[in-house]
Structure 1
């Protein structure tokens, strides 16, 4: 496993991070708590030390499962969670943080993040200065160690940096979703802000396990993904056909190839979810994959056969 500094903080995070949206069950199908706990333990045993969750993932259920799974190794892991866009007033930030501490069963959160910018999903706008003021207070109190943001544009990120040290940005970023490359990724590199890429396997599309005729369950949020729209999904299937020989030559799975491509970028770590122990173990192995420059260039070209046809809206779903 590779380890990297979290922004300018003294926190070290694993280059492969376990994402736990699925652990919340809401908006997913076929998730079992027992298997989720086994997956988290397998991730830890395979070298993954960083786990990302959020209050909104199952209304605290994901945080509770994370806390349960990692209770006895809490001092060896980095826990990252998020406050949602409808809880960004000063008092709400404090309330949400304290609830997350209880659900996680810990006395501190290593990385506390703003999940979506204020005003998202039709919510009321709260000045970023107010939200970050509360988060700075929590950091001074020792309840959080570092501050991050998620789904922020470059301009929103630059504004946030005026009021606090921002250690990380969490955007959607994969071979099939690359909006962050335009201007936000360069800004993060220049300002030593770590990118924690979510949906780094394009929510499973890059694993190749979904065939041309795949149908998601209605309550599975991936049925609303823009990548699942017929015209995009057809391009994905064609791209996967071209990626498979590269994966085979490197003796890795398609998912591992996708993760290795993400973390080949300076300052970028990849968040990967897992339903079971085997998936978690295989995700961790991607940290040790070294791709040749010519492979990286070919993978990049193949990815653009999908992304060149997407619009400029960085939100992945059409809810």
Structure 2
């Protein structure tokens, strides 16, 4: 496993990081708690020392499970990445969307990152995680009702207090990062990125490279689509936001599976699965520091970690990119 620094922060993380949204249940169906704990342990034992979570993932449940797992791991060798700025317990800021918690109760999600709220959320995260510091504290989504400078001031305070080692953002555009930089030195930006969703390469990647900021890529497998396991006619469960998304139309699923068939021989030559090849490609792209990958059990966690052993030569990356250049997906 390769370990990489987040920006200039001094925080080093595993290039493949455990994504802990699914184990929190919310919008994903969850995982058995025992399986989730075993997945975290297996990840750590196989070199994945970093875990990315958020209070919103199960309204605290994901963080609580990670806190339980941390009791069996050396805290100084594990990097905890969590977030703030999505409130379900406070109607303040900008209304984001309606949802349901794990008990099927209706909840309203608000984007709010006022200074006092950020500080309060940090205390709640520390309590659920059972730790006295967070390695990377990230705003989950921009809050248009709060000046960016105010949110960044809160991160500066928390870092001065030793409660966080570094601060980052999620889903920020380059211009928002530039504004944040006037108040606080960010370590990273967590954004969606995959073989079939590469829009950040136009502006955000160059900005982050120029300013020595890390990019943490989420959904590198395009929420399962790049595993090759989804077929036309696939029926998504109730509430699954993939239904109706342009990537998951029958036509686009066929096109993507055709592309995957072309790179399958390369995966086999490496002794790797398609998923492992896709993850390896992701962390070897310019400007990409980390790929977040979820796992519900130990076997999935081990498979994800082993993607870190797949080394692609420049000509192999070029081959994959050439195949991608011919992939023309239909718009809805």
TM-score exceeds 0.5: yes
1:13 aligns with 2:13: yes
Secondary structure at 2:135 match in 1: strand
Alignment partners' CA distance in 1, 2:167 and 2:206? 20
Which residue of 1 is the match for residue 143 of structure 2? 118
1:81 matched to which residue of 2?
82
Give, in angstroms, the shift of residue 10 of structure 1: 1.4
Indicate which of 214, 219, 232 corresponds to 1:199: 219
1:81-160 correspondence to structure 2 within 5 Å:
81-85=82-86, 86-119=111-144, 125-160=145-180
**Secondary structure of the structure 1 residue equivalent to 2:155:** helix
Corresponding residue number in structure 2 for 1:280:
301
Q: CA deviation at 1:308?
A: 5.9
SS in structure 2 at match of 1:145:
coil
Alignment coverage as a number of residue pairs: 306
Deviation at 1:131, TM superposition (A): 0.6
**Residues 47 and 305 in structure 2, CA contact (< 8 A), matched pair in contact too:** yes
Query: Structure 1 96/306 Cα, relative in aligned 2: closer, same or farther at 3 Å?
Result: farther
Distance in 2 between residues matched to 1:150 and 1:306, nearest whole Å:
28
Structure 2 CA distance for partners of 1:163 and 1:304, relative to 1, 3 Å? farther
1:296 to 297, 317, 323: 317
| Greater mean alpha carbon deviation, residues 147-156 or residues 286-295 | 286-295
Alpha-carbon contact 1:176-1:304 (below 8 Å) kept: no
Name the SS of the counterpart of 2:223 in structure 1. Answer: helix
1:309–1:303 distance in 2 versus 1, CA, 3 Å? farther
Q: Which residue does the alignment assign to 2:41?
A: 41
Structure 2, unpaired ranges of 5+ = 87-110
For residues 214-258 of structure 1, what are the alpha-carbon distances to aligned partners after superposition, in whole Å with 9 as ceiling and x for unaligned?
222113333354321333223222222222122112221001100
What SS does the aligned partner of 2:292 have? Answer: strand
Contact 1:206 1:254 in 2 (8 A): yes
- Alignment check: 8 A CA contact 1:232 1:306 kept: no
Matches within 5 A, 1:20-31: 20-29=20-29, 31=31
Instruction: Name the TM-score, length of structure 2 as normaliser.
Output: 0.88
Alignment partner of 2:231 out of 202, 208, 211 = 211
Which residue matches 1:317? Answer: none
Segments of structure 1 that go 5 or more residues without pairing to the other structure are: 120-124, 312-319
* Shift, 1:306, TM fit: 4.4
User: Are 2:227 and 2:274, in contact at CA under 8 Å, matched by a contact in 1?
Assistant: yes
Of 203, 209, 217, the residue aligned with 1:183 is 203
| 1:7 partner SS | coil
Deviation at 1:147, TM superposition (A): 0.6
Residue of structure 2 in register with 1:122 after alignment: none
Q: Is the 8 A contact 2:231 2:254 kept in 1?
A: no
**Counterparts of 1:4 and 1:266, CA distance in 2:** 13
Which of the pair is proportionally richer in helix?
A: 1
Q: Which secondary structure state, in structure 1, belongs to the residue aligned with residue 258 of structure 2? A: helix
Q: 1:218 to 1:117 in 2, by over 3 A?
A: same
Judged with a 3 Å threshold, the aligned counterparts in structure 2 of structure 1 residues 31 and 220 are, in CA distance, closer, same or farther, namely farther
User: What SS class does the counterpart of residue 221 from structure 1 fall into?
Assistant: coil
Q: CA RMSD in A?
A: 1.7
> What is the TM-score of this pair, normalised by structure 1?
0.91
Contact 2:279 2:307 in 1 (8 A): yes
Q: 2:72 aligns to what SS in structure 1? A: helix
Matched, 1:246 2:266: yes
